Amino acid sequence: MNELMIQARPHIFNFQTDASALIVIDMQRDFIDSGGFGESLGNDVSRLQKIIPTVKQLISGFRDAGITIIHTRECHLPDLSDCPDAKRYRGSPGLRIGDSGPMGRLLVKGEPGVEIIPALAPIPGEKVIDKPGKGAFYQTDLEGFLQDQHIETLFFAGVTTEVCVQTTMREANDRGYFCLLARDATESYFDAFKQTTIDMIEAQGAIVGWTATVDDILASLHV
Ligand code: C5J
C-alpha cells in the first residue's frame, strides 16, 4: 500500500490506509440531543449539532476508502458498578449519571440516550466501543483490537474536543500511534476550549498529534 499525505498542521502527515482507523468519539444522543447528560450539566447542546454534516462526510469518505471505523459511546452498566462516586457525585447537575431523563437513564448502557445519533449510526462491521471513562483505552478492548488489525495511525472526530477526544488522543499518543484530529469534525460546548485544545495538540512540533480539515483529509484519499 502506498503512503498518502495530508496537508496538516503543524506539518505534513503521512499515513497508509491499511494501517489506519477513524475513531468517532461519543456522537451519542446524551451529548448532542436535548434532554441528555450534556444538557443536564447546563450546556448548550446545539453547539455540537453543527458538526454532524462534517462528521458524516468524514465517515462516508473513510467507508468509501475501506478504512476501519470505530465508534465510541461513554456509558455505564445499569448497576453503575463501573461509575465511581468521584464521577457521579460531581457538581450539582440537573440530573446525575444513572438518573432518569427524557431519553432514559443518563449514560446508562441500553438506554436511548446512549445510542449514536441516527445520522451517524454505525453500519454492520464497524466496531462500537462502550467506555466508562473519558478515554477510549481505559477498561475497553480498543488496544487489543488495534493491535490485531495492525493499526498504526488514528484519525479522530467527535465530542467533546477537550474531554473525551483529547483524553483518547493523548492515551493513543502515549501508546505510540500517529494521531490526527479532524479540526472541523470535533466540537466543544466551549469555543475557547476547542481552540485551545487544537493549539495544545499541534504545539511543540505535534506534541500530541496533527490536525487537518475534513476536506484536506478526504482530498488525500481521493474520495
Ligand atoms: C464529556 C465527552 N464531555 N464525550 N464526555 O463528559 O467528552
Among 58, 64, 10, residue whose Cα is nearest residue 186: 58
26 is catalytic: yes
Backbone phi, psi, residue 122, to 5°: -60, 150
Q: Closest residue (by CA) to atom 2 of ligand 1? A: 164
- The answer to whether residue 73 is domain-embedded is yes
Cβ-Cβ contacts under 8 Å for 147 (sequence gap 6 or more): none
Mind listing the pLDDT tens digit for each residue in 142-152? Answer: 999 999 999 99
Kindly state the helix (H) or strand (E) to which residue 54 belongs, with its residue range. Answer: helix 52-65
Quick check: 68 and 76 in contact, CB under 8 A? Answer: no
- The answer to whether residue 214 is domain-embedded is yes
pTM of the model: 0.98
- The answer to whether residue 12 is domain-embedded is no
Q: 130: which strand partners? A: 73
Mind listing the pLDDT tens digit for each residue in 61-97? Answer: 999 999 999 999 999 999 999 999 999 999 889 899 9
Q: Residues 33, 130, 134, 164: which is the catalytic one?
A: 164
Q: For cell 478492548, what's the residue?
A: 141
- The answer to whether residue 80 is domain-embedded is yes
Q: Does the C-beta of 162 come closer than 6 Å to ligand 1?
A: no
Assign residue 126 the CATH number of its domain.
Answer: 3.40.50.850
- How far apart are alpha carbons 195 and 66 in whole angstroms? 31
Among 99, 59, 95, 54, residue whose Cα is nearest residue 76: 99
Q: Residues 33, 131, 184, 194: which is the catalytic one?
A: 131
Q: What is the pLDDT of residue 81?
A: 98
Ligand 1 atom at shortest distance from the alpha carbon of 163: 7
- The answer to whether residue 104 is domain-embedded is yes
Q: What is the pLDDT of residue 1?
A: 59
Q: What is the pLDDT of residue 91?
A: 87
Mind listing the pLDDT tens digit for each residue in 29-62? Answer: 999 999 999 999 999 999 999 999 999 999 999 9
What mean pLDDT is predicted for residues 126-141?
Answer: 98
SS3 84: coil
Cα(84) to centroid of ligand 1, in Å?
A: 16
Q: Closest residue (by CA) to atom 5 of ligand 1? A: 164
- The answer to whether residue 11 is domain-embedded is no
Cα(167) to centroid of ligand 1, in Å?
A: 10
179 is catalytic: no
Q: What is the overall mean pLDDT for the chain?
A: 97
Structural domain boundaries enclosing 180: 17-221
Residues 47, 35, 161, 181, CA torsion sign: negative
Q: Does the C-beta of 159 come closer than 6 Å to ligand 1?
A: yes
Q: What is the pLDDT of residue 2?
A: 72
Ligand 1 atom at shortest distance from the alpha carbon of 31: 4
Apex 159 CA angle, 212 and 30, nearest 5: 160
Amino acid letter at 219?
A: A
Cα(142) to centroid of ligand 1, in Å?
A: 18
Cα(169) to centroid of ligand 1, in Å?
A: 13
Q: Does residue 141 carry a pLDDT above 80?
A: yes
Residues 128, 134, 137, 140, CA torsion sign: negative
Q: What is the pLDDT of residue 102?
A: 97
- The answer to whether residue 4 is domain-embedded is no
- The answer to whether residue 124 is domain-embedded is yes
Domains identified in the chain, total number: 1
Q: What's the grid cell of residue 85?
A: 462516586
